[in-house]
Amino acid sequence: MTAAATSRSLFCAAAAVRAVLRYNFLLWHCDFTEKKGAMKGRTKTGLEILLSNPSPIKGKRVGVVVNQTATDRKLRHLIHLLQQVRDARIARVFSPEHGLWGAEQDQIAVESAGESELTIPVTSLYGETEASLRPAPETLEGLDALVFDIQDVGARYYTFIYTMAYCMEAAKRAGIEMLVLDRPNPINGVAVEGNILRSGFESFVGRYPIAVRHGMTAGELAELFNREFGIGCRLEIIRMQGWTRKSWFDQTGLPWIPPSPNMPTLETAAVYPGMCLIEGTNLSEGRGTTKPFELAGAPFLDSERFAKALNDEKLPGIVFRPASFKPSFHKWAGKTCGGVQLHVTERDAFKPYLTGIAVARAAKLLRPNDFAFRTEPYEFVSDRLAFDILTGTDNIRSLIERGVPLATIEESWLEELEEFKKVRESYLLY
């Protein structure tokens, strides 16, 4: 064989090897991409499962309890999707706090209205009075079922789960079925934290004795409310597929739609089970800024001292950055607040409820004559402090006022939390 022939042979062999390697790489890349895509999109919501098999609503006139979060992964809304289901009819729409499309701020009454583009009557379940939170009997006339599909955020205070409970009670009285289309707990379904709501502290931000961070989905809570707390309606949960309890929302492949005006991101939801407590104080919880619940402060606080006091507590998974901010509305609107921004560094270790208590406690210790607990009416309640109905007890406030260490405050709920976990276990669907 000549040198030229040998060279051509070697070149061809090398080219063949490169072709095989390229082919194998492409196969691996396609397989990896497919698996990665499957992982990103593995969670199917209850809505998507219902659409694949709409038999539970076939031949029925239904009322739907929804807001802007009731979409599939292509961002198509439930109202429009169910209108395309043969032999099923949406006869009425019910909207929760913040309205059907999530435009209203917290504690703003929403009027019932007929949406012209829907040609379906819309009934608000968040009006001027506490009675408006429940569907009136006449709004259920002619219905065969209520369908609930709203994204929860995993905290006892979030009012949508109590709108669901009131609808379950109304369905029971009307003798109609209740369907809950399940969605993920966005801050995972494993972590459970906080004290249990005590009798006498029930409100629209806490109706039942459950933990603050309950670690359950709306469907699981519906089962718990129905059986454990005696609602007793005809209930069907349309379960998700592909959701695992340890998953955070950004691991589901689903699009994040802010469930309420001040819940813009998953990061907001992560801190909310604790930072919602700041609503019960005279500190700003960051409403009127681009970081609601991730900022906290007031004009009377020094941001450097506030951040140091909180960082000295060495709370897990969180760092506090000194921050100044000026809310455009809500508490301290137009005033420069000294405060902190919460930076979650390890979300699976982070304890949001203990952190929220730490923020209120530090402000009280630093400025005892300026810090105060809110005394104005809150969520239709005027005879108890907002902080107390949020914590579901007056004990946490008392411990803060006495300057009790954080570790002691946390210990105060551990025993009852273990009891709740035992009850909760029977209602987990995933």
Helix pair 218-228, 406-425: axis angle to 10 deg? 80
Domains detected in the chain: 46-251 (3.40.50.12170), 266-393 (3.90.1150.140)
pLDDT in the model for residue 15: 45
Helix (H/G/I), strand (E/B), else coil: 132: helix
182 exposed, middle or buried (CB, 10 Å; 0-12, 13-18, 19+)?
Answer: buried
373 exposed, middle or buried (CB, 10 Å; 0-12, 13-18, 19+)?
Answer: middle
Helix (H/G/I), strand (E/B), else coil: 3: helix
Closest CA relative to residue 276, chosen from 353, 366, 186, 365: 353
Residues near 322 by beta carbon (within 8 Å), at least 6 away in sequence: 303, 304, 306, 307, 338, 340
Closest CA relative to residue 225, chosen from 191, 248, 202, 245: 202
pLDDT in the model for residue 303: 98
Q: From first to last of its 430 residues, what are the pLDDT tens digits of the chain?
A: 454 444 444 444 444 434 434 434 333 433 433 344 444 558 999 999 999 999 999 999 999 999 999 999 999 999 999 999 999 999 999 999 999 999 888 888 888 875 546 689 999 999 999 999 999 999 999 999 999 999 999 999 999 999 999 999 999 999 999 999 999 999 999 999 999 999 999 999 999 999 999 999 999 999 999 999 999 999 999 999 999 999 999 999 999 999 999 999 999 999 999 999 999 999 999 999 999 999 999 999 999 999 999 999 999 999 999 999 999 999 999 999 999 999 999 999 999 999 999 999 999 999 999 999 999 999 999 999 999 999 999 999 999 999 999 999 999 999 999 999 999 999 999 9
Q: From the CB of residue 55, how many other CB atoms can be counted at a distance below 10 Å?
A: 9
pLDDT in the model for residue 41: 55
CA 344 – CA 63 distance, rounded (Å): 40
For the chain, how are helix, strand and coil distributed in percent, rounded to 5? 40, 20, 45
Q: From the CB of residue 394, how many other CB atoms can be counted at a distance below 10 Å?
A: 16
Asked if residue 275 lies in contact with residue 285, where contact means CB atoms within 8 angstroms, the answer is yes
Closest CA relative to residue 177, chosen from 57, 48, 49, 51: 57
Residues near 10 by beta carbon (within 8 Å), at least 6 away in sequence: none
| Torsions phi, psi for 150 (to 5 deg) | -140, 140
CA 1 – CA 262 distance, rounded (Å): 79
pLDDT in the model for residue 114: 55
Q: Cα–chain-centroid distance for residue 356?
A: 16
Asked if residue 68 lies in contact with residue 76, where contact means CB atoms within 8 angstroms, the answer is no
What's the token pair of residue 166? 């009131």
Dihedral sign of CA atoms 172, 176, 179, 180 in order? negative
CA 263 – CA 115 distance, rounded (Å): 25
Asked if residue 93 lies in contact with residue 63, where contact means CB atoms within 8 angstroms, the answer is yes
To the question of pTM greater than 0.85 for the whole model, the response is yes
